[in-house]
Structure 1
Amino acid sequence: MELLSPAGTLEKLKVAVDFGADAVYAGVKHFSLRERAGNFTIEELKKGIDYAHSKGKKVYITLNAFLKNHEIENFKKTVDAVAELNPDGFIVADIGALSIVKDRTDIPIHISTQANVTNIATVKAYKDLGASRIVLARELSLKEIAEIKKAVPDMEIEVFVHGAMCMAYSGRCLLSSYLTKRDPNRGSCAQSCRWKYYVIEEKREGELYPIEEDHHGTYIFNSKDLCALPLLDKLYEIGVDSVKIEGRVKSVYYVAVTTAVYRKAINLIKNNPESFKLEFPKLLEELDKVSHRPYTTGFLESETELQYYQTSSYIRKYKFLALFKNGTWEVRNPFSVGDEVEIFYSSGESIKTRIERIIQIKGNKRTEIEQAHPNFTVKITFTNQPENSNFMILRKLI
């Protein structure tokens, strides 16, 4: 079972690869659903693909926008330019885009979750059209996924297992377009579903009344976040080929932690299922340390409590301080000598420690400092020195 992680930028691509992803998915400008999430230029994409391939990992290119007539020629040029970089797959939603990619390349074609594939007949139809993988609609249960895999065993099946969910059908929403002129189906969603809504009585203009759907509150569209870690072993047993982490507008820290946790979980399930059950509470605890809304297993267990009515805010317990690269720490948020911190490893393990000393590095100059600030490059002495590892995250409890 492949672990597929998000790569909104070149840095995130490298972090996903370094923290255990088997493959990453990346968007290019104009034709992905990640327009506000950072996208790759052709030059950046080449660097990313070369890096991933040097580590034996795959890169899938997201071109899952729904095309308009005036965009078709530019889409063809984009496909041609990206194909020369030798990616491992194109992710499309538009059936016309599928036809264009098939006619112009031999690169495998994956059908995006935006295509809303929910049944065996549709999977077979896409197979006949030349697709090699289906990213199933998020509205399916474990039972339905198993039925599809059994009926079409030679079609690769991909399932989302972690991240934000949309209140609309497989993410195909127009609410943001109407309210803000930002198209959700081009990655510019304003997340209007997370806002707090009121009604106004016809004869009392300006007087707002809260929409009380029930006793919880007024966030009537606000979805919880998906976390399928509790069901990962069942997805493995079904024979799901790839599990996908959602990552639109997510941080390097989020990519690192979620990737490392799911990597460790898959390894445990593959090698020792009982160990996965024993380690599960610890793995879930790590996922609780990234910014998220309350977790749900979504539709996988036919759950109905998918909405979160209290607030649209995220749960944030930890602050990302620094990323370890090439023997030094790249600082992202301030920290000081004496701070109690945690070091998170790409293995999915973490240790608690304390900062004893900070040395700032600027060229050949070394300066001892009391506080590190964003964009500093530093070396750190801890009370418990971390084990040798090329890939680490520094964080602290908020």
Structure 2
Amino acid sequence: MSRVITNKPEVLVPAGTPEKLKVAIDYGADAVYIGGEAYGLRTRAANFSYDDMAVGVAYAHEHDAKVYVTANIVAHEGNTDGAGEFFRTLRDIGIDAAIVSDPALIEIAITEAPGLAVHLSTQASAANYETLNFWQKEGLERIVLGREVGIAEINEMQKHTDVEIEAFIHGAMCIGYSGRCTLSNHMSQRDANRGGCAQNCRWKYDLFEMPTLGDQDSEIKADEAFSMSAVDMCMIEHIPDLVEAGVNSLKIEGRMKTVHYVSTVANVYRKAVDSYCADPDNYELKPEWVDELWKIAQREMSTGFYYGVPDQDDELFGKRRKRPQYTFIGEVLAYDADQQIVTVQQRNNFGVDDTVEFYGPNFRHHQQVVADMWDDEGQAIDRAPHAMQIITFHCATPVQPGDFLRKQK
């Protein structure tokens, strides 16, 4: 008899807006993490008000999902003002945990908001079991590991601790240690460790020889001769290793990413985790899972530090080696099964004779050619060029509200 995995890990998906929270849960997330209007590291994201949080928590809990709030800044003098009220409000709203890195904020959350679970942020760089045990004794229920931790180290940690472990498994990787970097502070006057990162490591840089620094004639001519920009992480091919290592929560990066990204990563990792945990002895990686993630990739992908120290192939040197092939084009609003007509809210230009792909929760997919199209007044049109335009067209394969559409570039 095939064994069944009893310690199925949580699939944790980013939700930068209320819309993305709902999409993440609909597409398979066990939990989402969001930002509030203070104390988080994504000040440019469309962060949640308390009212937004309450609505999001209600929706998540109705669907047996959890909501975590990031409060992971490095606090300077004055930055802790009001933190007690903030954490108490999270608790009273029903937030399932706060993700915190600064010891002062951790202490405030534990002492002033009893009953609110606290998780240690990856910004704290936890990378050994002694550190995990220290934070567990301080009252934390879960540790988000530093992104420099490998599979072998996680296996060793599990021999010496029983605190929950969360690990990043997909998304952007930071050039700074566990996300801590001051490039933005010096070059853009924006404090990366208090939510203002300008992603200076993603900029293109020229490389000069020191004796002639600043002499444009000495510039080394090459395609992006020097770069600090890391490729993205992708562990879809290594779900068995993560599960067997006892990782409790598989975390996906991307609170500022699109609905297309959120729905796709939730869909893929949900399918992979369920497949492995249901029948690990006969588990098989499906090529379509990997292909699906490439449809929304922004950069090349690698396994980061999980199997060794990254090398030059884990940085974006020179020309891109692979590019995403699909554009997000719309959302299904309704489907008339009798007439076989789908109503779509357009997000990007498409039209008659285009081949489009529908996809939905539980990894449902189908492709078709758009044979006809009408606007919201019933007038026949060839293309839908206007953002958020409502259109209809024939669709023989049943689809559901909340399904999405994309097309190949």
TM-score (norm 2): 0.89
Of residues 354, 357, 366 in structure 2, which corresponds to 1:339?
354
3-state SS of paired residue (1:171): coil
d(CA) in 2 for partners of 1:202, 1:239:
52
Match of 2:133 among 112, 117, 124: 124
Is 159-168 or 35-44 further displaced after alignment? 35-44
In 2, Cα distance between equivalents of 1:242 and 1:165: 18
Q: Quick check: 2:34–2:255 contact (8 Å CA) kept in 1?
A: no
Aligned partners of 1:342 and 1:396 also within 8 Å: yes
User: How big is each residue's C-alpha offset from its partner over 1:43-95, in whole Å with a ceiling of 9 and x where there is no partner?
Assistant: 11111111111211100011111112212222222222222211111100011
Per-residue deviation, residues 302-325 of structure 1 (Å, max 9, x unmatched): 143222211589833110001224
The answer to whether structure 1 residue 240 and structure 2 residue 247 are counterparts is yes
- On the 8 A contact 1:19/1:391 being kept in 2, the answer is no
Counterpart of 1:260 in structure 2 is: 267
Give the Cα separation in 2 of the matches to 1:326 and 1:146: 47
The answer on 1:26 being equivalent to 2:38 is: no
Structure 1 residues without counterparts, runs of 5 or longer = none
Matched with 1:283 is 289
Give the number of aligned pairs.
Answer: 389
Q: Are 2:242 and 1:227 aligned? A: no
Partner SS state of residue 73, structure 1: coil
Aligned residues of 2:234 and 2:301 also touching (Cα < 8 A): yes
1:348 to 363, 381, 401: 363
* Distance change in 2, residues 1:85/1:311 (3 Å): farther
Q: Distance in 1 between matches of 2:92 and 2:387?
A: 37
Q: Secondary structure at the match of 1:347?
A: helix
Q: Secondary structure at the match of 2:33?
A: strand
User: Quick one: distance in 1 between partners of 2:189 and 2:178?
Assistant: 20
Once the 2 structures are TM-superposed, how far is the Cα of residue 239 of structure 1 from its aligned partner? 1.4
3-state SS of paired residue (1:262): helix
Q: In 2 relative to 1, CA 34–52 (structure 1 residues): closer, same or farther, beyond 3 Å?
A: same
Contact 1:297-1:303 within 8 A present in 2 as well: no
Residue 382 of structure 2: aligned partner: 370
1:134 aligns with 2:143: yes
Q: Is the 8 A contact 2:212 2:218 kept in 1?
A: no
- Cα distance in 2 for residues equivalent to 1:301 and 1:343: 35
Q: Counterparts of 2:217 and 2:33 in 1: how far apart (Å)?
A: 43
- Mapped to 2, the partners of 1:152 and 1:91 lie a distance apart of 20
C-alpha displacement of 1:185 = 1.5
Give the Cα–Cα distance (whole angstroms) in 1 for the partners of residues 167 and 220 of structure 2. Answer: 34
TM-score norm. by structure 1 comes to 0.92
Q: Percent of aligned positions with the same letter in both sequences?
A: 35
Out of 283, 287, 292, which is 2:298 matched to? 292
How many angstroms apart in 2 are the aligned matches of 1:244 and 1:300?
Answer: 14
Is 1:184–2:192 an aligned residue pair?
yes
What residue is the counterpart of 1:269 in the other structure?
Answer: 276
Quick check: 198-207 or 129-138, which moved more?
198-207
AA of the residue aligned to 2:381: I
**1:143 aligned to which of 145, 152, 158:** 152
Cα pair 2:223 2:319 within 8 Å, conserved: no
Aligned residue type for 1:82: L
Q: 1:102 aligns with which of 99, 110, 114?
A: 110
159, 181, 196: which is aligned to 2:167?
159
Post-superposition shift, 1:355?
1.2
Separation in 2 of the partners of 1:149 and 1:350? 38
**CA distance in structure 2 between the aligned counterparts of 1:257 and 1:159, rounded to whole angstroms:** 19
- Aligned residues of 1:219 and 1:312 also touching (Cα < 8 A): no
**Contact 1:197–1:218, Cα closer than 8 Å, also in 2:** yes
CA distance in 1, matches of 2:332, 2:322: 26
**C-alpha distance in 2 between matches for 1:203 and 1:297:** 38
When residues 278 and 300 of structure 1 are mapped into structure 2, their CA distance, relative to the original with a 3 A threshold, is: closer
Structure 1 Cα separation of the partners of residues 220 and 193 of structure 2: 27
Aligned counterpart for 1:319 among listed residues 324, 327, 334 = 327
Amino acid at match of 2:117: P
In 2: Cα distance, 1:264 partner to 1:332 partner: 26
Shift of 1:244: 0.5
- For residue 149 of structure 1, report the CA deviation from its aligned partner: 2.1
1:221 maps to a residue whose letter is M
Aligned to 1:395: 406
Q: Distance in 2 between matches of 1:6 and 1:86?
A: 18
Residue 276 (structure 1) shift? 3.9
TM superposition shift of 1:122: 0.5
CA drift at 1:14: 0.7
Gaps of 5+ in 2: 1-8, 336-342
For residue 169 of structure 1, give the secondary structure of its aligned residue in structure 2.
coil
| Residue 115 (structure 1) aligns with | 124
After superposition, residues 76-87 of structure 1 pair within 5 angstroms as: 76-87=84-95
Aligned 8 A contact 1:24 1:60 in 2: yes
- Distance in 2, matches of 1:100 and 1:267, equals 37
Against the structure 1 CA distance between its residues 109 and 278, is the aligned structure 2 distance closer, same or farther, given a 3 Å change threshold?
closer
Asked if 2 retains the 8 angstrom alpha-carbon contact of 1:117 and 1:134, the reply is yes
In structure 1, how many angstroms separate the alpha carbons of the residues matched to 2:282 and 2:344?
Answer: 33
Structure 1: how far apart are the matches of 2:147 and 2:170?
Answer: 11
Residue 186 of structure 1 and its aligned partner are, at CA, apart by: 2.6
Q: Using the TM superposition, give the Cα deviation of residue 202 of structure 1 relative to its aligned residue in structure 2, in angstroms.
A: 5.8
For 2:223 and 2:239, the matched residues in 1 are separated by 30
Q: 2:12 is paired with a residue of what secondary structure?
A: strand
